[in-house]
Amino acid sequence: MENVFFKDIESVAQMLKVQEVSPIDLTKKLLERIQSINPVLNAYITLMSKDALEQATVLEKELKEGIIRGSLHGIPIALKDIFETKGSVTTSGSRIFENFISQKDAEIVKLLKKAGAIIIGKANLHEFAMGATTENPHYGPSRNPWNILKIPGGSSGGSAVAVAAGMAFAAIGTDTGGSIRLPSALCGVVGLKPTYDLISTDGCTPLSKSLDHIGPMTRTVADSRILLQVMADAKKLERVDLSIRLKDLKGVKVAICKDYFFEGMDEEIAIHIHQALAKLENLGAEIIEVDIVGIQEALQAQKIIFKAEAYAFHESMFMDKSHLYGEDIQFRLQAGKDVLASEYIQAKQYQQAFQQHIEHKMQAEQIDVFFSPTNIIPPFDIGSVGPEESVNNIFRLGKTPLGNLLGLPILSVPCGFTSERLPIGFQIMGRMFEEGKVLAIGEVYEQSEGWVSYLERNEVYQIEKTM
Catalytic site positions: 80, 155, 179
Please measure the distance between the N-terminal and C-terminal CA atoms of the chain and give it in whole angstroms: 22
CA–chain centroid gap for 313, Å, is 22
Count H helices and E strands in the chain, helices first.
17, 13
Closest CA to 141 of 40, 223, 210: 40
Closest CA to 187 of 452, 463, 462, 2: 452
Are 430 and 409 spatial neighbours (Cβ–Cβ below 8 Å)?
Answer: yes
Cα torsion 165, 171, 173, 178 to 10°: value is: 50
The CA distance from 152 to 297, in Å, is 29
Q: Evaluate the CA torsion angle 237, 240, 241, 247 in order and state its sign.
A: negative
- Classify 285 in phi/psi space as left (phi over 0), alpha (psi -120 to 50) or beta: beta
Q: What does residue 415 show for φ and ψ, rounded to 5 degrees?
A: -140, 25
The CA distance from 201 to 203, in Å, is 6
Beta strand pairing call for 76-80 and 171-175: parallel
Residue type, 173: G
Cα torsion 189, 195, 196, 202 to 10°: value is: -70
The CA distance from 124 to 129, in Å, is 10
- Classify 433 in phi/psi space as left (phi over 0), alpha (psi -120 to 50) or beta: left
